[in-house]
Amino acid sequence: MSLLILLIVIWIAISGEISLENIGVGLVLGLILLWAGGRAMQVQYFTPPTQRWPIRFWRIFKFSIYFLKELIAAGLSVFVSILDPSRLRPGVVAVPLDLTSGAEITLLANLITLTPGTLTLEVAQDRKTIFVHTIYLDDPDSFRANIKDGFERRIQELSQL
Amino acid sequence: MAVFLNVLSFFFLVFGAVFIFVGGIGMLRMPDLFLRMSATTKTATLGVAGMLLGTAIFFGELGVVSRAFAIFIFILATAPVSAHMIGRAAYSNGVPLYEKTVIDELREHIDEAKLNNPVED
Amino acid sequence: MIAFGMDLFDFFMVWVIVPALSITVVFCFIRLVRGPSLPDRIVAVDKLSGVAVGMMAAYAVATDNSVFLDVALVVALITFLGTIGFAYYIDRRS
């Protein structure tokens, strides 16, 4: 149900005006998509929420702000390292994971790839390690601690809604 | 006020264009595929985000803002997926890493896995 | 605001934004032709689509016509599928 509302909102966003016709078309398209998605939609990806919704929205908001800050700061550092390639020290680091569910690992991998300078290469078969390529590596241990303390802890907080 | 918004929107447009441009330079200068991917995909994301923000501010209509926001969310959701797919495929295909690469823990991991059950693949 | 014989915004558009994007297109093509491996070329095409979206945004501002944003949306959607398809192909080929 909430998924249907989300689909309608997306449709209104890309069609660009709020009108009765658009809501109707969005409703029909959303129903078709839900019907076509079928069983895939019914899998429980996240643990069901326990907190009330204002708290959840506040946490998601805080997380996005943190993420945007990280994105811009890292973007500027990549900017500098492109203009001065002699400082490059690339490396591939194995980061052990504490997260367990598929959705959380996907989110973490995507966020790592989105922050410029780091790139998720591979997730181990047993879902316990993630391999990250980074363009400027001082010390593998501090890099690991950085990711665990920054993104992973926050995602854990986020998933305990 | 209108002038201020115009200046702001052009600031973001120039910001985005410069970011995309620097990403292009990075694509030429970086020594190996993974560095190039780091340099380009992500600067492109940030640059396009800046340009879309500039466009949204310039028009200032609900329809345009929501559409720019939709494009932004879409790029944010898909860029890491495609980067990850290409990186993974390239690595497993044996694209060489830059010779100054400090450590490569994934190679060790794969070698170990091959040692443990050699019939895999 | 007049500078260098034209409106300041036109000045930025003509001398900063459009040249930056166009030169980036040239860079992408150089990488596309030279790229030592297939993934390099795919990354170049992927980047090209990003530049295309940026260009459409700039063109929408320049002509004051927001229809181009729809085109940008479609381009962003389609290139993602293309890139995923290519990546899948490389993965399967080995």
Q: Are the Cβ atoms of B109 and A140 closer than 8 angstroms?
A: no
Kindly list the domain boundaries of chain C, sorted by start residue: 2-93
What is the least distance, in Å, from the CA of B67 to any CA of chain A?
5
Say how far apart CA A5 and CA A12 lie, in whole Å: 11
pLDDT digits (tens, 9 = 90+) for A145-158: 777 777 777 777 77
> Residue A47 domain-assigned?
no
Judge whether A119 is closer than 8 Å to chain B, CB to CB: yes
A134 membership: H or E segment, kind and range: strand A129-134
**Largest Cα–Cα separation, chain C:** 59
How does residue A105 score in pLDDT terms, banded at 50, 70 and 90?
confident
Say how far apart CA A138 and CA A70 lie, in whole Å: 18
Residue A144 predicted with pLDDT over 50: yes
Instruction: Give the percent of chain C with pLDDT over 70.
Output: 91
Domain count, chain A: 2
Judge whether B51 is closer than 8 Å to chain C, CB to CB: yes
SS3 call for C3: strand
Q: Which residues pair with A95 in a beta bridge?
A: A130
Chain C residues within an 8 Å CB radius of B78? 76, 80
| A147 & A72 share domain | yes
Chains that touch B (3 or more CB pairs under 8 A): A, C
- Tens digit of each residue's pLDDT, chain B (121 residues): 677 888 888 888 888 898 889 888 888 887 778 888 877 877 888 888 889 888 888 888 877 888 888 888 888 888 888 888 888 888 777 777 766 666 666 666 666 666 665 544 4
Quick check: C56 and B52 in contact, CB under 8 A?
no
Domain that holds residue A21: 2-42
Quick check: A100 and A127 in contact, CB under 8 A?
yes
Chain A residues within an 8 Å CB radius of B31? 85, 88
Residue among B17, B55, B82 minimizing CB distance to C60 = B55
Task: For residue C46, give the amino acid letter.
Answer: D
Average pLDDT of the residues in C36-54: 87
Average pLDDT of the residues in A3-19: 73
Say how far apart CA A126 and CA B55 lie, in whole Å: 45
Answer yes or no: is the ipTM higher than 0.85.
Answer: no
SS3 call for A32: helix
